Structure 1
């Protein structure tokens, strides 16, 4: 039977701990996105000044590769930021700490290790 629990089985102290962890993670992710975006802008600006084709340069990575690599990092960081924002929304709706698959509470130890976790350890292992 798939019974649903209302609200997380977290104490107010545990909830404060994971909220602090989420806040720290969100702040560091925003700093990371800003730094990566600056790097991206620098590469774009420097490549605009260079008229040669670096695709066949044996000395190292091409500008196109560097741009693609940075874009992947930016996309990954933005995705993580969106995940954190969804987690904060679950906190506001009092749905945080409840497994999205089985509806059971997610153990505090798991939430402390992965504050944005959406599934309990049992469901995470089967996915």
Structure 2
């Protein structure tokens, strides 16, 4: 895909939809883990299985939070497309390379500033 044919608004829209679907799935998984542990009389601290339940809950909870943050990054990138600042580095004001934007559409900085 060349930079000329790549449409950031479309790419971000597709990534937003995939991320929303992932968030819905993870939220359902988390709710299922919590619901399953409610009926259990397992003592997470002292039951050998309890540690596994607590770990799963913690792991899925972290993935939910990470996905929510990514969704916020996508929304911010969509706003930058709308206001015309998409593709401009937030640190130095230079252009963000099209290849970087294709690889990471939510990028806010150019490669030089990102590596600092």
TM-score interval, smaller chain = 0.7 to 0.9
2 CA distance for matches of 1:58 and 1:80?
Answer: 34
Contact 2:96 2:110 in 1 (8 A): yes
Superposed counterparts of 1:1-127, under 5 Å = 13-14=5-6, 16=7, 18-58=8-48, 61-126=51-116
Deviation (angstroms), 1:60: 7.8
With the length of structure 2 as denominator, give the TM-score of the two structures. Answer: 0.88
2 CA distance for matches of 1:70 and 1:82?
Answer: 18
- Give CA deviations for 1:20-43 in whole Å, capped at 9, x if unaligned: 221221111111110111111111
Moved more, 46-55 or 33-42: 46-55
Deviation (angstroms), 1:59: 5.4
- Give CA deviations for 1:36-69 in whole Å, capped at 9, x if unaligned: 1111111111111111214334458422221111
Kindly indicate whether structure 1 or structure 2 has the higher relative contact order, using CA contacts under 8 Å at least 6 residues apart.
1
Which of the two has higher C-alpha Rg? 1
With the length of structure 1 as denominator, give the TM-score of the two structures. Answer: 0.81
